[in-house]
């Protein structure tokens, strides 16, 4: 199928589910791209996978009672996020330990709940791997409203999120309420995951949250540019993934993730500054020290070595804008 045929199918009223699937996929990618930048900046990639487990009991309950899946997942995820934020204040246990305990317990609860529903196997597969072509109109409106709320909250708390991500103790010394900022970030991640679960499912949702942000991080050292590139990378990958899956009858969620991974690998290889090829070229251009001009104590050697910027450099450079 050519791209033109794909866009014709998008406009076909008999295929009304297709533009809805594209809309949800693009909105999910944009939200996960923005929120994922904070997750990558804080080194909390594990939390995306954990939140996907946490929302599962809410999705299961909503499915059993024929309620709204997005709202059900949001309630369960936010409740678990609050518990994680509270338990994490005890510094005898690290944050990732609390996340691992509570979120896996929530996922286990979801399995128990969904097992009581008719058609258990099919329902479980829908939650684990997504069902983007079966999204009702009501979920489309809920996703749109949730996406707008997440974007407003993320941009409203942007400076505080960055400060806490760089140095929690310094942020606390500046008077920032670190506990409430942690809780706000968990809630935003939860909403981003809930929105995305129907697109690619619980198993693959981490890719939509982390891969676009990690790809953008390879392409730029500036946080503002990174937060612009990540949703663009995610949205374009969702469009291409949906096109490929529709053309070759492939699973939509898995195809989107593979496209995202391919874009990440291309950035890893060909990024102008951080790519593997760029580093190799920089090393070859460095002037080697010859045997005939071996340095003495009076002639120190200066070597040119490629350097990688840290998250601190990323934010500090952006702060000068």
**pLDDT (tens digit per residue) in 47-80:** 777 777 778 788 788 878 877 777 888 888 888 7
Q: Write the pLDDT tens digit of every residue in 296-319.
A: 554 454 444 444 444 444 443 444
Single pTM value for the model: 0.77
- Here the tokens at position 222 are 């500036």
Q: Return the pLDDT at 126.
A: 63
For the domain bounded by 3-205, which CATH number is listed?
A: 1.10.3470.10
How many contiguous H segments (helices) and E segments (strands) does the chain have? 15, 0
CA distances from 257 to 10, 24, 56, 210, 235 (A): 21, 15, 20, 11, 12
Which residues of the chain are modeled with pLDDT < 50? 291-293, 298-299, 301-321
Q: Rounded CA gap, 160 and 148, in Å?
A: 20
């Amino acid at each position: 199928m050519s791209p033109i045929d794909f866009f014709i199918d998008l406009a076909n009223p008999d295929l009304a589910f297709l533009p809805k699937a594209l809309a949800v996929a693009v909105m999910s990618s944009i939200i996960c791209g923005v929120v994922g930048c904070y997750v990558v900046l804080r080194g909390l990639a594990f939390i995306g996978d954990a939140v996907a487990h946490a929302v599962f009991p809410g999705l299961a309950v909503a499915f059993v009672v024929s309620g709204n899946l997005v709202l059900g997942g949001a309630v369960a995820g936010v409740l678990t996020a609050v518990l994680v934020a509270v338990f994490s204040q005890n510094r005898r246990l690290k944050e990732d330990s609390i996340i691992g305990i509570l979120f896996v317990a929530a996922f286990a609860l979801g399995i128990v709940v969904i097992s009581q529903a008719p058609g258990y196997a099919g329902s479980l597969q829908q939650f684990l791997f997504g069902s983007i072509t079966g999204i009702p109109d009501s979920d489309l409106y809920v996703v749109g409203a949730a996406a707008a709320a997440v974007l407003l909250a993320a941009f409203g708390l942007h400076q505080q999120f960055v400060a806490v991500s760089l140095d929690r103790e310094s942020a606390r010394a500046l008077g920032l309420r670190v506990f409430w900022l942690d809780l706000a970030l968990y809630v935003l991640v939860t909403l981003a995951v809930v929105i995305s679960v129907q697109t690619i499912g619980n198993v693959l949702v981490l890719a939509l949250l982390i891969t676009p942000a990690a790809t953008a991080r390879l392409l730029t050292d500036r946080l503002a540019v990174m937060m612009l590139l990540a949703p663009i990378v995610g949205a374009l990958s969702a469009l291409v993934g949906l096109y490929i899956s529709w053309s070759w009858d492939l699973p939509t969620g898995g195809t989107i993730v593979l496209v995202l991974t391919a874009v990440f690998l291309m950035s890893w290889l060909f990024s102008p500054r951080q790519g593997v090829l760029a580093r190799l070229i920089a090393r070859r251009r460095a002037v080697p020290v010859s045997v005939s001009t071996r340095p003495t104590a009076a002639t120190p050697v200066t070597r040119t070595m490629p350097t990688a910027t840290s998250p601190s450099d990323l934010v500090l450079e952006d702060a000068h804008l």
